[in-house]
Chain A
């Protein structure tokens, strides 16, 4: 059974950092595309970053230069390192598996709150 479990969210001050984790089971992270999507409170879904099976990565303009997506193959885990956090980064962050260009399985999300 495919499962994704995010962790690492919390309250952080503006300018601070957090690392989100997405532990996968039932499939291999490194052989799939994976991405992060966020949802600000009461708002819609926003694509954040993607990592291809090749290791190639892309970012939304709003997070480019501040966020880094990566994976640990030995732990079958996806990460999102978030630096220089801003109030507008406050959101629930979801990871998802992408199968043949379709995000099919999503985690339950982890809440990041950026506030002083």
Chain B
């Protein structure tokens, strides 16, 4: 099973600050890594697919990078509405797995 490890687990950030979340895979997953945002009592929402591909309707302040085993989600100029938990998710190999999540709080 491929283990995805996110860092940090929690981040408290002021508006307009830049947020960087890292996801490390226990083995290479090429670019089969996707990022989701989950707000309380809501289902996950797709933000980035295949490491760096943007999703229609998602604000341009969200971007992704990386390949193989190290991936990054960047939120430029954080807004209050970005308070949520962020998950990485790999679809390279069954069982598909998720990172443990990174909670982003607005100061």
Contact = CB atoms under 8 A, between A and B. Distances in A.
Contact of A103 (B34, B94, B99): B34
A106 B91 contact: no
A58 B43 CA distance: 22
Nearest to B99: A44
A6 to B, nearest CB: 9
B95 interface: yes
B101 interface: yes
A106 B95 contact: no
Contact of B96 (A47, A94, A109): A47
A44 B100 contact: yes
A11 interface: no
Interface in A78-103: 94, 98, 101-103
B62 interface: no
Interface stretch (B19-27, B44-52, B68-76): B44-52
Given A44-B98, A47-B96, A50-B96, A103 B43 contact: no
* Chain A residues touching B, majority SS: strand
Interface string A37-61: 0000000111100100000001011
B52 to A, nearest CB: 13
Nearest to B46: A104
Contacts of B67: none
Nearest to A60: B95
Interface in B49-106: 49-50, 55, 87, 89, 91, 94-101
Interface of B: 32, 34, 36, 38, 42-46, 49-50, 55, 87, 89, 91, 94-101
Given A35-B96, A44-B101, A108-B42, 6 more contacts: A44-B99, A44-B100, A45-B98, A102-B34, A106-B43, A106-B44
